[in-house]
Amino acid sequence: MKIALAQLNPIVGDLEGNASKILKACKSAHHQKCNIVITPELSLWGYPPKDLLLNLSYINKQKYLLNELTKNISISMKNISVLIGIVEPINDTHTPNLFNSILLIQNGVQKIIARKQLLPTYDVFDEKRYFRAANKTSKLIIKNESKSWTLGITICEDIWVSEKLQFSRTQGADPIAQLSEEKIDVLINVSASPFSHNKDLLRQQVISEAAKRINCPVIYLNQVGANDELIFDGSSFVVNKEGELELSLPKCEEIIDFWDIQKSGQKQIRSYAFVSPQEQIFKALVMGVKDYAKKCGFKSALIGLSGGIDSALVTTIAVAALGSENISSILMPSPWTSQNSINDALSLANRLKSHSTIIPISKIMTTFDEALTKPLNDLPKGITAENLQSRIRGTLLMALANNNNHLLLATGNKSELAVGYCTLYGDMNGGLSVIGDLYKTGVFELSKWIDSEASSLCRESMGIQSTGELIGLKIREKPPSAELRPNQVDTDSLPDYSILDPILKELIENKVAAKELIKSGYERNLINKIEKLLKRSEFKRKQAPPLLKISNQAFGSGWRKPIATI
């Protein structure tokens, strides 16, 4: 029996468009003489639909579109069975009043065959706000010629129940233990599992353990594409009953592939080339920008280019995502901007073949100084003067973005967001923060990889210059500086990033208490300073643009800290 894995890239809330994708996948599968088509979790809606689930008009639209899909499939593809991720209304007076379900379309009939049991409510997930948990596992019997096949059906979190592999798991039943008591021919897990740069190995280990527990092959099908801050890498795969890989689908690519149950265990492995950690991050961020722009209706992007490494990396990602002809970069030198920075920025724009414009801000700064001298009884000084430069630049960028319908991309990194080394209504302006989940040391590492020979095939596939440096050694080796005053460097205010970033990772991602870091040998004043900066900068992060999540703990919807706290 041949199964089609439809690794789809939906638009959240575009039920009509998503239904068309599903129908197209069915036609492709029918052409390949498949028996079953499986689609990701909530494939008709896109994940995560959030409060669209509370809008009754969407529920009514779902009913109509499912009827249309059923009619179209039954007319031209009579022998195919299709699994679609939907929301299932519950007819009672309790809330939540929906199930996260899988619908089977078969022989012109619709039938709910699975409901999600484990509802994640951590990090970016909030499923208990919308869904009710099911209380039993699901299986489906499919007849093909003279044989009947029993399929176990799980939805995303339902397979994440390994006590020995996971740090923790969602409280509730163990669907894999329940299915192990059944005689299952293959287990299907349909998912919408966001990308993080260290998830691949754990994901494969969890799925492989499930295969061994149930003693059958497992199909893991994941959504692909970026929706707001979340990036879904796809990376779907199939393992045999020993937990060994039989098929893998590519990262960050919408694709339909096929697998035959009867050929399982024959060592006919079909997989795609190994992707290094840096390439994974680069591909994820490129897809994040590309999908955010497309799904929000932007065709072009704007970037404030300083000659520093952050804006250089963001510009490179943007060119790979949208094409050099759709990227505009603006240089806004102040009296403190070095000629080297201007030269480096222009050279980068030239290498990337993107349009660049210089708008000096010295005269605007003078105008602000004159306007503020009387109310301040002096010229603006210190952080007031420094922030004015950033806000002047932010205002100019927003004006250009508004006028030309550009998506303004913010260029700040995670280290800066963590300690507040950024300016509200200045360099934090933008519709999307591209590297806001990448520490400064990570910015250097990714930039070095982009400039290396190891990136050449990836760069070529994205239509950017495949040989030689893109970001450039001058930019990569330059001491980090915002150039807001004469001879300024970041280490005037902050520890070196090689010291700062590991501490931030412990505090943010590993959630280690400051006192425990001090006990482990870190200098007390340093830890207390960094912790204080992290807490005091929360009000800035609450007003930051959405950022592309690539770690287990990003600043965004999964970071819910109070602003007013000790």
DSSP string, 186-237: EEEEEE-----TT-HHHHHHHHHHHHHHHTS-EEEEE-EEEETTEEEEB--E
SS3 545: coil
Q: What DSSP state is assigned to residue 478? A: S
Q: With H, G, I as helix, E, B as strand and everything else as coil, classify residue 497.
A: helix
Residue 303 and residue 361: Cα distance in Å, rounded?
16
Q: 359 by DSSP, 3-state: which?
A: coil
Phi, psi of 369 (to 5 degrees): -60, -45
Residue type, 403: N
Secondary structure element (H or E) that encloses residue 258, with its range: strand 255-260
Distance CA 407, CA 434 (A): 12
Which residue of the set 21, 26, 34, 41 is catalytic? 41
Q: What is the distance between the alpha carbons of residues 405 and 217, in angstroms, rounded to a whole number?
A: 49
In eight-state DSSP terms, residue 294 is H
Phi and psi at residue 384, in whole multiples of 5°?
Answer: -60, -50
Using a 10 angstrom Cβ sphere, with 0-12 exposed, 13-18 middle and 19 or more buried, the burial of residue 368 is middle
Q: For residue 159, give the nearest of 144, 172, 143, 142 by alpha carbon.
A: 172
DSSP 167: S
Distance, in Å, from the CA atom of 331 to the CA atom of 359, rounded to the nearest integer, reads 6
Nearest to 407 by CA among 282, 224, 548: 548
Backbone φ, ψ for residue 352 (5° rounding): -85, -5
Contact predicate 414/504, CB 8 Å: yes
Q: Which of 21, 26, 34, 116 is catalytic?
A: 116
Q: Is residue 31 a contact partner of residue 4, using CB atoms and an 8 Å limit?
A: no
Chain-centre distance for alpha carbon 497: 24
How many angstroms separate the CA atoms of 343 and 347, rounded? Answer: 6
Q: Is the dihedral of CA 409, 415, 416, 418 positive or negative?
A: positive
Residue 41 is among the residues annotated as catalytic for this protein: yes
Q: Are 380 and 484 in contact (CB under 8 A)?
A: no
458 is a catalytic site residue: no
DSSP letter assigned to residue 251: B
Catalytic residue among 26, 34, 156, 458: 156
The helix (run of H) or strand (run of E) holding residue 357 is: strand 355-358
**531: annotated active-site residue:** no
Question: What type of residue is 129?
Answer: R
Q: Pinpoint the alpha helices (H) of 421-467.
A: 440-450, 456-461
CA 43 to CA 23: how far, in whole Å? 12
Q: How far apart are CA 433 and CA 414, in angstroms?
A: 10
Catalytic residues: 41, 116, 156
